[in-house]
Amino acid sequence: MKQKIVIKVQISCKKCRIKAMKLVASAEGVDSVAVEGENKDQLVIVGDGVDPACLTHTLRKKVGHADIIKVEEVKIAKQEEKKPNAGPPKPVVHWYPNYPPCPQLVYYDDYYACRSSNSDNCSIM
């Protein structure tokens, strides 16, 4: 069940806001974090299976005073796709090549390593 949690946090500077957002974003099950409100002091958390009390407790320990404002379930709106009635479906055109492809010509150079029989080297030693 996806839920939307709004937590009011006592934030005095941009550094504290970033710290609070990192803490909330690192929690398990959090999908998105946003900042709202006149003074940008409300964190809006959307996630699946997020514990608001645990988040508030963590924010109180690390940032400052925090209060839960609202917890509500997020309903996903299903949009029905409308298919226009265009009549009968268009036939599928298949394309086949006219001729089979030409075979590849591979040329191997015959290479023989030969020793001359007139060598002065002794084969016994």
Q: What is the DSSP string of 5-37?
A: EEEEE---SHHHHHHHHHHHHTSTTEEEEEEES
User: Is residue 62 included in any domain, yes or no?
Assistant: yes
| Residue 62, domain extent | 2-73
Cβ–Cβ < 8 Å for 66, 10: yes
What's phi and psi for 61, nearest 5 deg?
A: -70, -40
Give pTM, 2 decimals. 0.59
User: Is residue 123 included in any domain, yes or no?
Assistant: no
User: Is residue 45 included in any domain, yes or no?
Assistant: yes
Express each pLDDT in 28-75 by its tens digit: 999 999 999 888 899 999 999 899 999 999 999 999 999 999 999 988
Express each pLDDT in 78-125 by its tens digit: 655 566 666 787 888 887 767 777 788 887 776 666 555 665 666 665
Cβ–Cβ < 8 Å for 29, 48: yes
**Which pLDDT belongs to residue 123?**
62
User: Is residue 113 included in any domain, yes or no?
Assistant: no
User: Is residue 42 included in any domain, yes or no?
Assistant: yes
Q: Which CATH number does the domain housing residue 26 bear?
A: 3.30.70.100
User: Is residue 110 included in any domain, yes or no?
Assistant: no
Overall number of domains in the chain = 1
Entry field: residues in the chain: 125
User: Is residue 11 included in any domain, yes or no?
Assistant: yes
**Which pLDDT belongs to residue 95?**
77
User: Is residue 56 included in any domain, yes or no?
Assistant: yes
